[in-house]
Amino acid sequence: MALFDLPLEELQSYRPDVSEPGDFDDFWQRTLDEARRHDLNLRLEPIDARATLHDTYDVTFAGFGGQDVKAWLFVPADHDNVPVVVQYHGYSGGRGMPFPGEYVNAGYAHLVLDTRGQGWSTASIFEGTPDSSEFAGGNVPGVMTTGLDDPDRYYYRRLYVDVVRLLEVAQQVPQIDPDLVFVAGGSQGGAMTIAAAGLAPMAGITLAGALPDVPFLCHFERALTLTDSRPYKEIGEYFCTRPRDIEQSMRTLSYFDGVNLARRATCPTLFSVALMDQVCPPSTVYAAFNQWGQKADTAPESAINVYPYNGHEGGQQIQRWEQLGWLRDRVQLQAKPAKAPRRGRRSAS
């Protein structure tokens, strides 16, 4: 790998004019309103996850079109009113096996979405979330081009509805503090994190913070001409055989561009970017970061950690260490009197 994008000093001020449809807000408000016509139908089933320091729940809720969507919920044992990190997965990932990450060890609940129609790279013996077959059509293998001819049919419309409905789940779980909901994810999960932050205000949900790592699905116009790495390459291959569809397809993508969604965020954020990332080029990440909260009444706090010699793996455990410190600072700023642990089991704190 080598540096292939703009120099860092240019990235830091890079604010491209990304195409945004005039009905962007109306499109997403209509989409979220349609989703809420379905009761959330939240079901939490405790499971034996072979653990003693946290409780594990198999979560089912109504996502796009009222379809059942799966998730995992991990909560430090015998604790109530705890902050939560809602996590979204990278491309091809799913919720996998019920193993929590570092967040639970740090005292947070951890809510992990199963990515509809994906999960092919994640080992699991548990039920996943299929995508709706009614939206299938001519597409390059993967999900990047499924329904690309129409924003109402595009795959990421369904996925982003699931993203927001999982925030509603976090609001309803008794053990979670609804005022301390954070969102996090890398690559596609970073794009979903940005979508959560941008769409939450439309859903009447206030987030405490967002942690997008090396986010995907930002500044499509540049990404598609700067990298031929997958998954962006799926769209390039689609355009190779459908040149007359390019204009309409790019209009569809503009409704899902992370730059347009980042503009609508109102919560603080800590990004990460890797300057040798050939999957999610750094200029596309900075395009979203530099416009974070642009449309908010008050500009939210924003910071970005830069990894000069890293590729798409990003900062890995070093970035997670930084995130845990950032989360702790945000929680302390909003600290409430702690509730006493319930009796009967050992506390994980």
DSSP code per residue over 3-62 = --S--HHHHTT--------TTHHHHHHHHHHHHTTS----EEEEE--S-SSEEEEEEEEE
DSSP readout, 95-159?
A: --SS---HHHHTT-EEEEE--TT--TTS--SS---PPPGGG--S--SSSTTTTTT-TTT-HHHHH
Q: What is the dihedral of CA 84, 80, 98, 199, to 10 degrees?
A: -30
- Residues 72-100: tens digit of each pLDDT: 999 999 888 999 999 999 898 899 999 88
Residues β-bridged to residue 209: 182
Q: Are 283 and 5 in contact (CB under 8 A)?
A: yes
Q: Is the pLDDT of residue 343 over 70?
A: no
Cβ atoms 313, 285 nearer than 8 A: no
Rounded mean pLDDT, 310-321: 97
- For residue 82, the 8-state DSSP code is E
| Selected residue with higher pLDDT from 327 and 333 | 327
Q: Which amino acid does the sequence have at 50?
A: R
105 assigned to some structural domain: yes
| pLDDT greater than 60 at residue 287 | yes
Residue 153, domain member (yes or no)? yes
Give the predicted TM-score (pTM) of the model: 0.93
Q: Per the domain annotation, does 337 fall within a domain?
A: no
CATH number reported for the structural domain that contains residue 208 in this entry: 3.40.50.1820
Whether the per-residue pLDDT at 208 is higher than 50: the answer is yes
Position 140 scores a pLDDT of 62
How many CB atoms within 10 Å of residue 1?
Answer: 12
- State the average pLDDT over residues 12-22: 97
- Residues acting as catalytic residues: 187, 277, 312
Closest to 40 in 3D by CA, of 193, 199, 203, 265: 203
Q: Are strands 209-213 and 43-47 parallel, antiparallel or unpaired?
A: unpaired
Domain assignment present for 136: yes
Of all residues in the chain, the percent with pLDDT exceeding 90 is 83
Whether residue 210 lies inside any domain: the answer is yes
How many domains does the structure of the chain reveal?
1
Mean pLDDT, range 326-348, rounded to an integer: 64
Range of the domain at 93: 8-332
- pLDDT, tens only, 121-130: 787 878 888 8
Backbone angles phi, psi at 25, to 5 degrees: -65, -40
- pLDDT at residue 341 in the model: 45
Question: Residue 333: what pLDDT?
Answer: 86
Residue 290 is inside which H or E element, if any? none
Is 148 inside a domain boundary? yes
The answer as to whether 2 is a domain residue is: no
Residue 322 placed within a domain? yes
Q: Of all helices (H) and strands (E), which one includes residue 252?
A: helix 246-254
